[in-house]
Amino acid sequence: MKIILPREELRPYVRYYWMLESEEPFSVLTFPIGCPQIIFHRKSPLYIPELKSFQNTFTISGQVNFPAHIQSDGNLDMIVAVFYPHTVGMFIGTPPSAFYNQEISGYDIENQQLNDVAARIFDSTSGDEPIGILERWLLTRINSNLNLRRIASSIGELMRTPSVSVNILADKACLSRKQYERVFREQVGMNPKEYARVVRFQKAMRMLQCGSRDYACIAHHCGYADQSHFIRDFKAMNGHTPKSLIDHCAPYSDLFTCPV
């Protein structure tokens, strides 16, 4: 896998890109990472058993609250853009709430410019050319606004303190709770309380990744009510208790880890 950082102008909105070519079949368990993605498959798309479907050659992956396996037949060549939790809607012109817990075909949102970008990526032949094609289009779509900045600040607060109340987040955003929940859901793709569950899970994964095995300590630092709440919610997000996950694979938090 090759990881590529976006150019400076895009770094407030795009976390990173990754490219993967593989001739080996595989099946991997994935978890809610809290970040939407745009995916281009230049060969065989991945199969998602939980959704009983293949990804489209051009897929937009939304916020999810469940674990899923991804399966490749070994004929893989994919390019993925990973966005911050609240930014993908600005680029595609469709609120992420429209594809909550879904992976949709990018063609379904009927964005002709983005369709043209996909066509050029599929026709590209050299190295990092697909990333350059995508970035040139993304740069034309930057349109930051007050609500985007409000939600960006909220995401930062949630990552620091996942137990923070929605009322406090709404007050800091200078919005009523009802307005705040609406704006948050439109930009992030799920409501604040549900997204906080993803953040708590990812923060717990980070502590496990860093070697912590003190579940009471993890529960406290990640905003769970107690150790039982932590283990129950953790299993709902990935199908494993913390101990069984460690036996299954090395814990890794995408949301709290910079891959480059």
| pLDDT score of 125 | 82
146-248 and 2-140 share a CATH fold: no
Read off the pLDDT of residues 68-89 as tens digits, 9 standing for 90 and up.
999 999 999 999 999 999 999 9
Question: pLDDT digit string (tens) for 7-40?
Answer: 999 999 999 999 999 999 999 999 999 999 999 9
End-to-end CA distance of the chain: 12
Mark the ranges of the chain whose per-residue pLDDT is less than 70.
none
> Given strand 53-54, what is the order of strands in its sheet?
26-30, 68-72, 47-48, 53-54
Q: Where are the domains of the chain?
A: 2-140, 146-248
What per-residue confidence (pLDDT) applies to 51? 83
Query: What per-residue confidence (pLDDT) applies to 258?
Result: 85
pLDDT for residue 52: 87
pLDDT, position 232: 96
Architecture of domain 2-140: Sandwich (2.60)
Quickly name the fold that domain 146-248 has.
Arc Repressor Mutant, subunit A (1.10.10)
Q: What is the SS3 assignment for 181? A: helix
Say what the pLDDT of residue 40 is: 97
